[in-house]
Chains A and B, each alone.
Chain A
Amino acid sequence: RKEVEQDPGPFNVPEGATVAFNCTYSNSASQSFFWYRQDCRKEPKLLMSVYSSGNEDGRFTAQLNRASQYISLLIRDSKLSDSATYLCVVNEGTGRRALTFGSGTRLQVQP
C-alpha cells in the first residue's frame, strides 16, 4: 500500500468550475500536511499547508480529517493557469523531517 495515495486523474474541467481532490495517507502518526503544485518538467511549489481546522487561501480550500486520514483540496472558479499536477504531501514526523509525496493528481482546465 502506498504511503500517500491520490487519484492520478486527469480531471478535465471547464473554466469557472469547482473541482475537489482527495488524498489518503497511511501513517496515523503523520504530523503535517501540504498541497504542492507541480507544472510539467518543473520543481514542485508549495501551494498551501493543511491545518486540522481547515484553511482557505483565495480560491483554494484545504481540509484535513485525521480520523479518516484524508486530506482534500477544493479549487473554486478554476482558471486556465490552475492546470498542473497537484501533489499531496505528508511529513511523517520522523527525526529527519522528510516529506512523502503522493504521485499527484493532474488537473486540466479547459476554455
Chain B
Amino acid sequence: GAVVSQHPSRVICKSGTSVKIECRSLDFQATTMFWYRQFPKQSLMLMATSNEGSKATYEQGVEKDKFLINHASLTLSTLTVTSAHPEDSSFYICSARGSGTPSTDTQYFGPGTRLTVL
C-alpha cells in the first residue's frame, strides 16, 4: 500500500507556457502533500506543503503566484508552473502522507516529473 503517482513523468515545453503536474495517492487518503524540487547534483528542496481543502504553505523564496498548488481532494494535488522559464527546468517530486498507509508519519514519494523548459 501507499502508492503515489505523478503525471506526466517528463515534459518539455517552450518558455512562457504553463505546465501542470498531477500527484495522486492511489490507495490511501493523502491529508498532506508536499512538493519538492531537485536540481542536478543537489538535494531535494521543499517548495510547499498543502493540506486537503486548505491553501498551500510556501517555503521562503518560492513564489506562490508562479507555482500554483491545488489540493482539492484527498487523492489529488496539482502543481502548475506558470510562465515557465529555462531556470524552472528541474525534477519536481511530490510526496504524500495520510491515513490508510503502513505508517501515517512516513512520506511516500511519487516517481517525479522532469521538466525541461526550452
Closest B residue to A45 by CB, please name it. Answer: B109
CB distance from B61 to the nearest CB of A (A): 14
| Distance in angstroms between the alpha carbons of A104 and B45 in the assembled complex | 12
A29 contacts partner chain B, Cβ-Cβ < 8 Å? no
Considering residues B91, B95, B107, which has the most beta carbons from chain A within 10 angstroms of its beta carbon? B107
A103 contacts partner chain B, Cβ-Cβ < 8 Å? yes
Q: Knowing A43-B112, A45-B109 touch, does A101 contact B44 (C-beta < 8 A)?
A: yes
| Distance in angstroms between the alpha carbons of A30 and B31 in the assembled complex | 22
Do residues B42 and A42 form an inter-chain contact, with CB atoms below 8 A? no
**Interface size counted on chain A using CB atoms at 8 A:** 19
B67 contacts partner chain A, Cβ-Cβ < 8 Å? no
B18 contacts partner chain A, Cβ-Cβ < 8 Å? no
B32 contacts partner chain A, Cβ-Cβ < 8 Å? yes
Band of interface residues on B? 20 to 34
Do residues B43 and A103 form an inter-chain contact, with CB atoms below 8 A? yes
Chain B facing A: main interface SS? strand
A52-60, A64-72, A91-99: which one contacts chain B? A91-99
| Distance in angstroms between the alpha carbons of A91 and B95 in the assembled complex | 14
Q: Knowing A96-B57, A97-B105, A98-B49 touch, does A43 contact B110 (C-beta < 8 A)?
A: yes
> Which of B41, B105, B111 is within 8 Å of A43, CB to CB?
B111
Do residues A42 and B112 form an inter-chain contact, with CB atoms below 8 A? yes
| Distance in angstroms between the alpha carbons of A98 and B34 in the assembled complex | 8
Do residues A99 and B46 form an inter-chain contact, with CB atoms below 8 A? yes
Chain A hits for B43, CB < 8 A: 4, 87, 101-104
| Distance in angstroms between the alpha carbons of A104 and B109 in the assembled complex | 17
CB distance from A83 to the nearest CB of B (A): 16
Chain B hits for A16, CB < 8 A: none
A61 contacts partner chain B, Cβ-Cβ < 8 Å? no
